[in-house]
Structure 1
Amino acid sequence: MVESGTAEMNAVFHALGDPTRRGMLGALAEGERSVGELAAPFEMSLAAASKHVKVLERAGLIRREVRWRTHTCRLVPEPLAAAHRWLGEYERFWTGRLDDLERLLRAEDAAEPLNPEGEDE
């Protein structure tokens, strides 16, 4: 498992920090794509797309295979799973906090009688 303080996890979050790279990962979740296909929705050059692809590769999020002159990329989901597990710790924290808030609000609502005419005081 990749720990939160490792260089690998830092690279994953760096890669996910850019909306273009997140879009590329979304496309790759649907299947393999060439670098040109990844670049097309963003109207960027192949050189610019290649820089994004390299960041995703360094993070271990994709694998690139050269087929003749075409560079084909595919998603590698394991680093995303490790990031999801790490974020899951915070999900439990916030779920607990929101549960506490809900109990507090319900107790407050039960303690205050509603104005029968629905008017503000």
Structure 2
Amino acid sequence: MKRTFLLFGLAMLTLTSFSRIDSDKKYIKKTTIEVQSNDGEKLIAKSDCVGCHKLDKKLIGPAYLDIAKKYPNTDKNINSLADKVIKGGSGVWGTMPMSAHSSLKKEDAKSMVKYILSLKK
């Protein structure tokens, strides 16, 4: 029995001597890169826009990507579309009218429109 423990201990000592502990090894902390979302995207997420619009699919209203394809990202379009978001409208994308968002500030609406138009690829 003593011999078995002695052989087992000798085997363990031999095996551990071949393993290499690298104390100088530097570990890299894994981090996730968080994409900074802009104010317009945050405002859209908090609003009722998501009930009628999706990023890439038509629901009740057009997809954001379709809007971005149709309208160039100009100051004139940003102001016009921001007004349309606030006042509501119909006829451009079909017969279903977009409800007015009269409580929305003009700057917030412009920020939302800027985000949508920035999606153009």
Which TM bucket (shorter chain)?
A: under 0.3
Which has the larger share of strand? 1
Looking at CA atoms only, which structure, 1 or 2, has the larger radius of gyration? 2
Which has the larger share of helix? 1
TM-score, scaled relative to structure 2 = 0.28
